[in-house]
Amino acid sequence: MISSASDLHSGLSASGATMKAPAPERPVPVLVALSSAERARFFPDDLTRADYPVAIDWHTMPEKLSAPEWAALLSRIDPEVIVGGWKMPPLAGEMVGRCPSLRYLCYVAGSVRKKVDRSFIERGGVVSNWGDAVAPSVAECALMLTLMCLRQATRFALDLHVDRGWRTPGAPLPLGLYRRKVGIHGFGAVARALLRLLAPFGAQIEAFSEPVPETVFAAHGVRKAASLAALYRENDVVIVVEALTPLTRGSVDAAILAGLRPGAVLVNVGRGPIIDDPALEKLAARGEVQIGLDVFATEPLPPASPLRGLRNVTLLPHTAGPTIDWYPLCGRRALDNLRAWLAGGTPPDAVSLQRYDVST
């Protein structure tokens, strides 16, 4: 499959070697599969007015369309590039077949797994997303949840708002983060961004991620915990930023959660299914650990979830990603990816098969 704009008119020589032809003179057909809200959020200056290395024939997806209408649109335009977002209908195998010229999906958000089949990348198609652009925002949210748990913000909020009270007599006093022992479960871009945010607190930090070698931790000045169980057992605060894989799914089970100290803090901004859900609910009900969650095993969180209404549990509706002021930065990242591909290069945030497989 052709992988970049400079390959559009490539052919084979008699010997079978690929010959690169000059960049095409005809405009490249690009379908913008974004809702009006997504377009305004990611591209406030209008992506069609930006500078590109080649001429572009822009097309826009209607605000609402059925699956048959989506298929018809792809067949009619046959785009070589799609700039897509959350509102873009999936590009399943049948849909990709509707646009045989499609070479590149420039996805403006995060996980692409529910938007395009793995086979598209296997055949040489290029897919990019926002890469690590939102890591600082997720790390910021993790820090916020940590501080809220240490300071028992949810308990005080319920005391004041719901009970119309003040301080709960006999309740544990809040804690601070300074010089606290912090364990980070996972060591990707979010974990590294979190290290920078934790630095002013003088926290003692260690981390754990099964496939990451000790040399990587050492390069960032972090000690690798002896095991996942040790990470949870030996730290005052544990922050989950791990990717969801077959190895990590359910890896934080009842035995590991039982190792958390009374008064410890557990924060999860990674993926909900990493933590065994029934075990987490039992831990929360005991009230001995402060818990901050942005992600859940089932989303949206069911109304009857036992995690709701607990004074030791702080909940967010999976909003640790970009804040409203962060979206234009992600839009600029998408434009960088698009320009790179149109210029015949590889988008900086191209999604590899390995990265695709750990998406959720």
Amino acid residing at 265: V
The answer to whether the Cα torsion of 233, 235, 240, 244 is positive or negative is: negative
Q: Using pLDDT thresholds of 50, 70 and 90, give the confidence band for residue 6.
A: very low
60-103 per-position pLDDT tens digit? 999 999 999 999 999 999 999 999 999 999 998 889 999 999 99
Query: What's the chain's average pLDDT?
Result: 93
Percent of the chain scored above 90 by pLDDT?
89
Q: Provide the pLDDT for residue 24.
A: 53
Contact 79, 58 (CB under 8 A): no
* Sequence-distant (≥ 6) Cβ neighbours of residue 156 within 8 angstroms: 167
CA separation for the pair 145, 316 (Å, rounded): 9
Q: Using pLDDT thresholds of 50, 70 and 90, give the confidence band for residue 20.
A: very low
Read off the DSSP letter of residue 272.
G
Q: Supply the pTM of this predicted model.
A: 0.89
Q: Do domains 5-132+325-357 and 135-315 have the same CATH topology?
A: yes
Which of 6-15, 89-98, 340-349 has the highest average model confidence (pLDDT)?
Answer: 340-349
pLDDT at 154 over 70: yes
Residues 281-306, mean pLDDT to the nearest whole number: 98
| Tokens representing residue 341 in the block | 């591909």
Q: Provide the pLDDT for residue 3.
A: 43
User: In CATH, which of 3.40.50.300, 3.40.50.720, 3.20.20.70, 3.40.190.10 is domain 5-132+325-357?
Assistant: 3.40.50.720
Peptide bond preceding 300 in cis form (omega within 30 of 0): yes
Amino acid residing at 342: L
Top-confidence residue, 120 or 15: 120
Amino acid residing at 33: A
Helix segments in the chain, DSSP class H: 36-42, 67-77, 93-98, 118-122, 135-150, 153-161, 189-198, 214-219, 228-233, 254-258, 277-286, 327-342, 353-357
Among the residue ranges 26-35, 106-115, 168-177, the one predicted with the least confidence is 168-177
* Sequence-distant (≥ 6) Cβ neighbours of residue 354 within 8 angstroms: none
| Tokens representing residue 347 in the block | 């988008």
CA separation for the pair 300, 302 (Å, rounded): 6
The domain segmentation of the chain, as residue ranges, is: 5-132+325-357, 135-315
Residues 253-269, mean pLDDT to the nearest whole number: 98
Phi, psi of 201 (to 5 degrees): -85, -5
197-208 per-position pLDDT tens digit? 999 999 999 999
Q: Using pLDDT thresholds of 50, 70 and 90, give the confidence band for residue 16.
A: very low
For the beta carbon of residue 343, count every other beta carbon within 10 angstroms. Answer: 14
119-145 per-position pLDDT tens digit? 999 999 999 999 999 999 999 999 999
CATH architecture for residues 135-315: 3-Layer(aba) Sandwich (3.40)
Residues 21-25, mean pLDDT to the nearest whole number: 49
For the beta carbon of residue 6, count every other beta carbon within 10 angstroms. Answer: 20
Residues 327-334, mean pLDDT to the nearest whole number: 98
Q: Provide the pLDDT for residue 23.
A: 52
pLDDT at 18 over 90: no
Residues 37-62, mean pLDDT to the nearest whole number: 97
CA separation for the pair 59, 11 (Å, rounded): 28
Q: Provide the pLDDT for residue 14.
A: 34
Angle between helices 189-198 and 135-150 (to 10 degrees): 50
Amino acid residing at 98: R
User: Beta strands 11-12 and 18-19: pairing type?
Assistant: antiparallel
For residue 45, the SS3 value is coil
